[in-house]
Amino acid sequence: MRKITQSVYFESSYGGVCVGAFLFPEHTVLVDAPLHPEDGRAWLAALHQAGASPQRTLVYLDSHLDRTLGAQTLQASVVAHEEITRQMSRRAVVFKTLRQETGAAWENTPGLTGLRLILPQLTFSHAAHLHFDGSLLQVAARTGVAPGASWLIAPEEQVLFVGDALALNEPPFLDQADIPAWLEQLEELQSRQYKDFTIIAGRGGKADGRAIKQMQTWLKDVHGKLRAASRGKAAEAEIEKLAARYAERYKPGPKVRAQYTQRLRFGMQAYAARHFSAPRRK
């Protein structure tokens, strides 16, 4: 567990996503959930040692199973964008292992069958302002990476959790993205408004300006290459090659090479089908 300020922490070593916590005198606000129940219990134990209140609110930064499936362990009320409720309501309440196809962390994590999905109890359409012990947290929609995706902004602590808008040292998820909107949001991250903020990526932890710029350049490049690959008669094959080529840019080890390639293959095919009318693999 890493400390950002006296009351703000994050942890990026669990499987799934980077999680965060704000420790107020009478309340704990959690940012996303560790994927595996054992990690969730370890996270709560570490926070307890740091003085966390047992009264907990959990914020989902999007509906991805990597960040929502482990919520049961945290025993917290949940806040999220209203679109998150719509998406999660389409899933079975009790999770069962599904066919692996998206390259997500949950697909390679045993011991998740039987977990109950926890739907948000409080939702918002554009932004929510949460007040705890005199401090303000803002949860604001930033839907470039996925419908319902949000950022959690702590203006007093100058801390910003951006979810999957940033992925460090691993490929992002593209299947639900709107890349032009996503690029605008990365531009916003580099504005004066957040110049002195500590920015926490949903995959990888603390991010600096260089990492944001690299993500921006990567997305621009992928968007252009994907548009070109989608135009030909062999679009599906070209997208397959593109996914493999971009996966190798992350210099993946043998344990994650297939996962990263599949993540990009699935995401690129879905994105091209939605935005460029490319045929999608059956």
We report the CATH number of the domain holding residue 17 as 3.60.15.10
Could you list the residue range(s) of the whole structural domain that residue 257 is in?
230-282
pLDDT for position 277: 79
Please give the tally of structural domains in the chain: 2
Does 278 reside within a domain?
yes
Does 58 reside within a domain?
yes
pLDDT for position 204: 95
What does DSSP say about strands 122-124 and 77-81: parallel, antiparallel, or unpaired?
A: parallel
C-alpha count within 13 angstroms, C-beta hemisphere, residue 256: 16
- Whether residue 281 sits in one domain with residue 142: no
Q: What is the mean pLDDT of each run of 10 residues along the chain (282 residues)?
A: 96 96 97 98 98 98 97 98 96 82 93 95 97 94 97 97 97 97 97 96 96 96 94 88 95 94 96 82 52
Does 105 reside within a domain?
no
In whole angstroms, what is the distance from residue 9 CA to residue 58 CA? 14
Which helix (H) or strand (E) segment holds residue 240: the answer is helix 235-248
Does 106 reside within a domain?
no
- Whether residue 190 sits in one domain with residue 261: no
pLDDT for position 234: 86
C-alpha count within 13 angstroms, C-beta hemisphere, residue 98: 12
8 Å CB contact between 74 and 44: yes
Does 148 reside within a domain?
yes
How many residues comprise the chain?
282
pLDDT for position 279: 61
Q: Could you tell me the two tokens for 49?
A: 């040692």
- Whether residue 191 sits in one domain with residue 135: yes
Does 204 reside within a domain?
yes
- Whether residue 154 sits in one domain with residue 75: yes
- Whether residue 34 sits in one domain with residue 142: yes
> Last residue of a domain, which of 142, 177, 208?
208
Q: Could you tell me the two tokens for 89?
A: 């309501």
Which helix (H) or strand (E) segment holds residue 255: the answer is none
- Whether residue 269 sits in one domain with residue 129: no
pLDDT for position 281: 55
- Whether residue 186 sits in one domain with residue 135: yes
In whole angstroms, what is the distance from residue 22 CA to residue 53 CA? 10
Statement: the pTM of the whole predicted model exceeds 0.85:
yes
In whole angstroms, what is the distance from residue 85 CA to residue 58 CA? 14
